Structure 1
Amino acid sequence: MKIAIVVPMAEEAEFYRHYFSSEKKEMFGSTEFEHFSVQGNDLYLGLTGIGKVQAAMNLSSLLACEKIDLVILTGSAGSLQKDIHRKDLVLPNAFAYHDAHNTSAGNYVEGQIPQEPARFLLDSPEREDFKHYLERKGVAYKEGLVVTGDSFISSQAQKAAILKNFPDALAVEMEGAAFAQVAYHFGTPLIALRAISDNGDENADNDFVAFVKEVGAKAAELIVDYLKENKL
């Protein structure tokens, strides 16, 4: 099985290298993907860059060249709900764009790109298997909608604007919906695991710097353990 792990930031990618030894490196798009063998699976680790365009461009470049069976997205996110705190894990079951406002362009809802699904659902058997893995391990997580946009959210006003349109959104980040849109069009299952690094408010800058490495390590440890434990 060919599995791609995509992460936006170097701070989030470095932890995987603690567990695996790279066999070779190859460029897809503007991203260098490192190649590993784990439990009989071919694993591609790519640092895709920050934001929707970087995410979509580099994952598309990989999927157009390699028959990838599963994409795993890890990294950090900002909390949008009072009961979701720093270091919590979020297992998205859907992504939407919080900065897509196209309701006047036709029969569309907030977060929907014209002629695309309103939300990109993550409901594959592979994701369900990973969910059962977390439950077997006793790992606490929150499950629900995560929203994506090209801005780092760092004020209560920004959070309030997002929650007005997406009151059920658990967290906000900058790549997930783009990854999900690409995976949807390629027909490739996507598993996403985001760890909360900040509260998306005026302290987000300080919180993010302090916690992104810690939560990145937490997410990476779970993904690595899952891959080593399961021959997919």
Structure 2
Amino acid sequence: MKIAIVVPMAEEAEFYHQYFSSGKKEMFGSTEFEHFSVQGNDLYLGLTGIGKVQAAMNLTSLLAKEKIDLVIMTGSAGSLNAKVRKEDLVLPTEFAYHDAHNTSAGNYVEGQIPQEPARFVLDSPARDQFKAFLDQKGIQYHQGLVVTGDSFISSQAQKDEIIKNFPDALCCEMEGAAFAQVAYHFNVPLIALRAISDNGDENADDDFAAFVKKVGAKAADMIVNFLQESEF
């Protein structure tokens, strides 16, 4: 089985190298993917870069050349819900774009790009298997909608605007919906895991810098243990 792990930031990717021995490196598009063997599976680890275009471009470059069976994305996010706190884990059930406003262009809803699904739902046996793994380990997490946009959210006013359009959103980040959209079009299942680094408010800059490495390590640890203990 061929599995891709995609992360936006170097701070989030570095922890995987503590678990995997050095492997072959290969360029796909503008991203260098490292190739490892884990539990008899081919694993591609790629640092895609920040934002929707980088995420979509570099995952597409990989999926267009390799027959990937499963994509796993990890990284950090900012909370939009008072019950979702710093260092919490979020297992997304679906993604939408919080910066897509196309309701006047036709029969579309907030977060929907014309001619695309309103939300990209993550529903696959692989995701069910990962959820069962977290439950078996007694790991606490939140499930629900995660929203994506190209801005780092760092004020209550920005949060309020997003929450007004997406009252059910748990957190926001900058790549997830783009990864989900690409995976949807390639018909490849996606598992997503986000760890909360900040509250998306005026303290977000300081909180993000302090917590991104910590929560990145937490997410990486969950993914690595899942891959090492699971049979696909």
Shift of 1:143: 0.0
C-alpha distance in structure 1 between counterparts of 2:222 and 2:90, whole Å: 13
Shift of 1:23: 1.8
Structure 2 counterpart of 1:181: 181
Shift of 1:54: 0.1
C-alpha distance in structure 1 between counterparts of 2:230 and 2:92, whole Å: 21
Contact kept? 1:6, 1:73, Cα under 8 Å: yes
Shift of 1:22: 2.3
Q: CA offsets per residue over residues 45-85 of structure 1, 9 Å max, x none?
A: 00000000000000000000000000000000000000110
Greater than 2 Å deviation, 4+ residue runs: none
Query: What SS does structure 1 have at the residue aligned with 2:211?
Result: helix
- If the length of structure 2 is used for normalisation, what is the TM-score? 1.00
Structure 2 counterpart of 1:112: 112
Stretches of structure 1 lacking an aligned partner (at least 5 in a row): none
C-alpha distance in structure 2 between counterparts of 1:218 and 1:23, whole Å: 23
C-alpha distance in structure 1 between counterparts of 2:102 and 2:210, whole Å: 36
C-alpha distance in structure 2 between counterparts of 1:47 and 1:195, whole Å: 17
Structure 2 counterpart of 1:9: 9
Question: Is 1:197 matched with 2:194?
Answer: no
Query: What SS does structure 2 have at the residue aligned with 1:42?
Result: strand
For residue 163 of structure 2, what is the amino acid of its counterpart? Answer: L
Shift of 1:187: 0.1
Structure 2 counterpart of 1:142: 142
Contact kept? 1:78, 1:199, Cα under 8 Å: yes
Q: CA offsets per residue over residues 173-192 of structure 1, 9 Å max, x none?
A: 00000000000000000000
Structure 2 counterpart of 1:229: 229
Query: What SS does structure 2 have at the residue aligned with 1:194?
Result: strand
Structure 2 counterpart of 1:128: 128
For residue 83 of structure 2, what is the amino acid of its counterpart? Answer: D
Structure 2 counterpart of 1:71: 71
Query: What SS does structure 2 have at the residue aligned with 1:15?
Result: helix
C-alpha distance in structure 2 between counterparts of 1:59 and 1:103, whole Å: 28
Q: CA offsets per residue over residues 189-219 of structure 1, 9 Å max, x none?
A: 0000000000000000000000000000000
C-alpha distance in structure 2 between counterparts of 1:183 and 1:139, whole Å: 26
C-alpha distance in structure 2 between counterparts of 1:207 and 1:153, whole Å: 12
C-alpha distance in structure 2 between counterparts of 1:151 and 1:3, whole Å: 29
Structure 2 counterpart of 1:32: 32
C-alpha distance in structure 1 between counterparts of 2:5 and 2:78, whole Å: 21
Stretches of structure 2 lacking an aligned partner (at least 5 in a row): none
C-alpha distance in structure 2 between counterparts of 1:128 and 1:83, whole Å: 23
Shift of 1:34: 0.3
Structure 2 counterpart of 1:19: 19
Give the % identical residues.
Answer: 81
Structure 2 counterpart of 1:59: 59
Shift of 1:231: 2.3
Q: CA RMSD in A?
A: 0.4
For residue 25 of structure 1, what is the amino acid of its counterpart? Answer: K
